[in-house]
Structure 1
Amino acid sequence: MVDSLLGCNGRLTKGVTSLQNNGVYGHLSWACDDTATDGSVTRTIMVWHIATTLCEQLDPLAKEYDTVASTISRYCLHLLVFTPNLLPDHSSVSDSILDQSIDEASMFLKGKGTKKMLDRCKLLMEITAHNGGGGEARLVAQGARLARHLIEDIKEPARRWKVLADFWAEMMLYVSPSNDARAHLGAVARGGEFITHLWSLLTHAGMLKQGPTWAEDIV
């Protein structure tokens, strides 16, 4: 995360810089696309969280290489569920998108009769592959599509997990700036959140807003 902060030149992006630096921006940029994700940070987080979870379950070498990506991915989901007011989107947007992802996952797995996480992940990958991704609006289908690209296009596990770790480190920084000091002070009163410490750090550094989404906007 320190590397992401030092390398952003004061302009935080929604994963763009990390994808560029890892040479995968060309075929993964759609997963950070504001036009495909209606501009919401919540939708981007959910798509990448689904993809990260699928990679974690389906990659037999995940435990050897993955220490950062899954941890930050789960923490971002924790923020969406329990403290959405600390994130850029309005809490109603976060709630709506979370509900959508649960409904979609239930729809894909309805009647399949499996409760094991690994089996569910395999089913999601199989079902979304057979129905062409299930439509661009579907979060679960997009997450499965992203996981498929990560697994099939990035053969080396170490590189795959570096791409994911660098993305999540940048995303964690991207969602941290906020003008809502009251929300963060409230979090401190309840014991504090990691994002609040980042918010304080970025505020003192003068980084109060998110930056551009697209590579061509980064100088």
Structure 2
Amino acid sequence: MLTNEIIRRVLSGFKGSNGQLQDGQSALARNQLLSQFSWSCTLPTHIHKILVWHIGTTIAMDGHLVPRTGDHRVAKTLSDYCAYLVAFVPYMLPGHGYDNQCIFDAVIMEAGEGLTGCDTVSNRCDRLMAMVLPSDSSCTILQLGGKLGRELRGVAPEERRWKVLADFWAEFVLFLAPSSNVEIHAEKLAAGGEFMTHLWALLTHAGVLECPSTTADVGGNNGAPAHDSRV
């Protein structure tokens, strides 16, 4: 369930941007962290970006799984929600639903092999952070998530870390909402509705019908690590 606090955070960000969708980079810039994390905003697809940032957010919050502040709650809930969409409603996200599902399935297979024996979230986070990036810079989603998690843990104090993550996810979830797949939204409305459907309807009425193009759409990396084609 998404609280009024979370809904207000997303919509106030949209209002503050004068109705312009941003993919998270604006949030990082406002927090003076864009140069440090720009590599994580130029991944091959939006699904790569959701998963890398979800892994990174989970690692950054390891040991603080119960929300401690409003920012912490907003960041954790929206990160989990976007991961849920990837896993269970991939056709509601940008890109082709089948491709989205294939990317997610590849990450699940890699996690099954790479996280064997890790029976707690903390153990998994430690294993991910300990992953060594390949020398040829061909990194998988899990490896990039571990790298992002390490870097996010370096953002101090913790209150600033939670604010950065809350700002990022509140901006990014709205960026993901435009869609031409009316059928999936109609299907979800008949079943009770999704938060993403409400955002989609809002943006449609505002005349925002598609995501703005980004470097991620064309595969540019602007200096980011290269990525394993399997995922």
TM-score normalised by structure 2 residue count: 0.81
Question: Which residue identity lines up with residue 115 of structure 1 in the other structure?
Answer: D
User: Aligned equivalents of 1:205 and 1:191: distance in 2?
Assistant: 23
From the superposition, tell whether residues 62 and 142 of structure 1 become closer, same or farther in structure 2 (CA, over 3 Å): farther
Secondary structure in structure 1 of the residue aligned to 2:94? coil
Which of 68, 78, 83 does residue 64 from structure 1 map onto? 68
Residues 79-98 of structure 1 aligned to structure 2 (within 5 Å): 79-98=85-104
Question: Following TM superposition, by how much is the alpha carbon of 1:212 offset from its aligned partner in structure 2, in angstroms?
Answer: 4.5
Deviations 1:76-132, CA, capped at 9 Å, x for gaps: 11111111111112111111111121122223223xx33122122112212x1xx23
Alignment correspondent of 2:139 = 137
Question: Which residue identity lines up with residue 82 of structure 1 in the other structure?
Answer: F
User: Aligned equivalents of 1:23 and 1:54: distance in 2?
Assistant: 21
Alignment correspondent of 2:60 = 55
Structure 2 residue 165 is matched with structure 1 residue 161: no
Secondary structure in structure 1 of the residue aligned to 2:193? coil
Alignment correspondent of 2:128 = 124
Aligned residues: 203
User: Aligned equivalents of 1:193 and 1:47: distance in 2?
Assistant: 23
Secondary structure in structure 1 of the residue aligned to 2:26? helix
Question: Following TM superposition, by how much is the alpha carbon of 1:137 offset from its aligned partner in structure 2, in angstroms?
Answer: 3.1
From the superposition, tell whether residues 109 and 82 of structure 1 become closer, same or farther in structure 2 (CA, over 3 Å): closer
Deviations 1:34-63, CA, capped at 9 Å, x for gaps: xxx22x1111000000001111214x5973
Alignment correspondent of 2:193 = 192
Which of 25, 28, 42 does residue 19 from structure 1 map onto? 28
Alignment correspondent of 1:217 = none
User: Aligned equivalents of 1:210 and 1:92: distance in 2?
Assistant: 19
From the superposition, tell whether residues 211 and 9 of structure 1 become closer, same or farther in structure 2 (CA, over 3 Å): farther
Question: Which residue identity lines up with residue 150 of structure 1 in the other structure?
Answer: L
Question: Which residue identity lines up with residue 151 of structure 1 in the other structure?
Answer: R
User: Aligned equivalents of 2:56 and 2:88: distance in 1?
Assistant: 21
Secondary structure in structure 1 of the residue aligned to 2:61? helix
Question: Following TM superposition, by how much is the alpha carbon of 1:13 offset from its aligned partner in structure 2, in angstroms?
Answer: 2.2
Question: Which residue identity lines up with residue 48 of structure 2 in the other structure?
Answer: R
User: Aligned equivalents of 1:61 and 1:81: distance in 2?
Assistant: 21
> Are 1:109 and 1:123, in contact at CA under 8 Å, matched by a contact in 2?
yes
Q: What residue ranges of structure 2 are gaps of 5+ in the alignment?
A: 1-9, 216-231
User: Aligned equivalents of 1:120 and 1:155: distance in 2?
Assistant: 22
Question: Following TM superposition, by how much is the alpha carbon of 1:173 offset from its aligned partner in structure 2, in angstroms?
Answer: 0.2
Question: Which residue identity lines up with residue 214 of structure 2 in the other structure?
Answer: T
Structure having the larger proportion of residues in helix: 1
User: Aligned equivalents of 2:175 and 2:56: distance in 1?
Assistant: 19
Question: Following TM superposition, by how much is the alpha carbon of 1:174 offset from its aligned partner in structure 2, in angstroms?
Answer: 0.6
Which of 41, 47, 61 does residue 46 from structure 2 map onto? 41
